[in-house]
A and B are shown apart, each in its own frame.
Chain A
Amino acid sequence: MKAKKTLPNELLIVRGMLVLSLLGLGISIYLTAVHYTETPLVCLGTSGCETVNRSAYSEVAGIAVALLGAGAYLAILGLLGAEAYTLIQRQTAGLNVFGIALAGMLYSAYLTYVEIFLLRAICSWCVISALIMTAIFALALVRLRLIAIS
């Protein structure tokens, strides 16, 4: 299969995903650092960041949920980077980013449910990350559509 050239619209989408992933990565690294140290967490607007980030739900099998988030954003960046350097094909990158963003979005939705109904505390950073992941998913979906019709 010959490699298709990236369309102008698609380039915009990829750049959008890059910027969003970097933002998400920044937030996740911050939340991870705060989780594993005893520094207080600066919360945007709400007051529940500490409660959420230190709750029983903030770790899965001993790994901080924030660290999982950082891993997901890093993986997306890695895939897009590998594609830019033609290490992997456009469709492979598109599909994998789609998969990671879908998983990230679904898991974020679950975590937001936990915040609202189980912890009764909202962590604004976590909500922002959930929105970023949702936006990346939307872009990844549009991109798959472009890949399909091109």
Chain B
Amino acid sequence: MTKNGGVCMRKKEVVAMLLAGGRGSRLGILTDKTAKPAVSFGGKYRIIDFTLSNCINSGIDTVGVLTQYQPLHLNRHIGIGIPWDLDKSIGGVTVLSPYVSRGNEAWYSGTANAIYQNIPFIDYYDPEYVLILSGDHIYKMDYSMMLNNHKKKGADISIAVLPVAYEEAHQFGIMNTDEDLRIIEFEEKPEKPKNNLASMGIYIFNWKILRNALKLAEKNHDSSDFGKHIIPFCLNEGNHVLAYEFQGFWRDVGTLESYWKTNMELISLVPEFNLYEAYWKIYTNNEIQPPQYIAASANVERCILGEGTEIYGSVYNSVIGSNVIIEKGCFIKDSIIMTNAHVKENTKIDKGVISEGVVIGANVTIGEGENIKNGIDPEIYNSGISAVGEYAVIPDGVWIGKNCAITGVTALENYKNNRLESGGNIRLEEVEG
């Protein structure tokens, strides 16, 4: 019912709010110009596609996507939601960027603050439940089953949890539950974990309860956050907070290495995370492209290739995006090459992560030499992966070692003796895109 007593014609039972504003700085230069949810994944997808597809496959057709950090790719990708059938007359997808209002310099200062600032968006649909999601994870999940469980058990809040190994539990937010999976305590990265149920950052709230908690949290904290403020507050209030155990493939591709590994999992014979089944399709905004072409001069084994990609060289154990060209004489191994990249003749790449639109010259070598940690970001580039940022250019004939990071339009003079030793960096600012 609306305030004047009429029936709300745009009422939705559930509204999903998808947090997509984070940078994901542990992905290094991959997120220099792109928010993490918009980073390419699995050849033709972007990370956010999995969550968006989960929404529509779960029958949730009203989604607010909260953007903040480098939203251009994300905006362009989502558009009006056509690829996910989220172009609806009532509901659909709405991109919610921070805005300035009277007396409020309003960046999204925390996850809960971001939702707080969009209370009017949610109120518009007068929902019973709000589903909080993040656009950072690779998984297939039916949120409607979680919602059914939430309703059946009469919960106020449901939190999706994933059983993790006890020895890894200290890296997660751990939910301590009773035998009915009711959460009695929440511990953020506990030193001595009492339980192994890690929060996946997926919450269902009864909107009235969340709305109230958001208002209070906003009053009491500067940058209100779900994990730090909202969940502990609700537990304190005695709300019925329920854990919902998720069984299945779920990956946080937060670091360069986990990003690389999760991509590589897709190329095994029958991958645990199967993109080929008709059930639970993953949708993405792909431009219409001709099929993949594999030339007589090519060798392709243990690879996935996006559409429009043309292979004239040898590619093994790799994930190749759409509209990529790999010329004759190339030898690509254990690498990720994203959409619209062009690798010229006789270039060798071993364990490279090559971003969108990169042009790599002929006779280049990437990923040889000693495994020396990166000179600027040793905590990011240390597993042997060399990364090239989007729309970067690498000139003909250079040699690039392991754990290197390159951005911008580089030229021969940027390379000492035509070489960039392992752990080296060339970070040029000018990037076209």
| A joins B in a complex | no
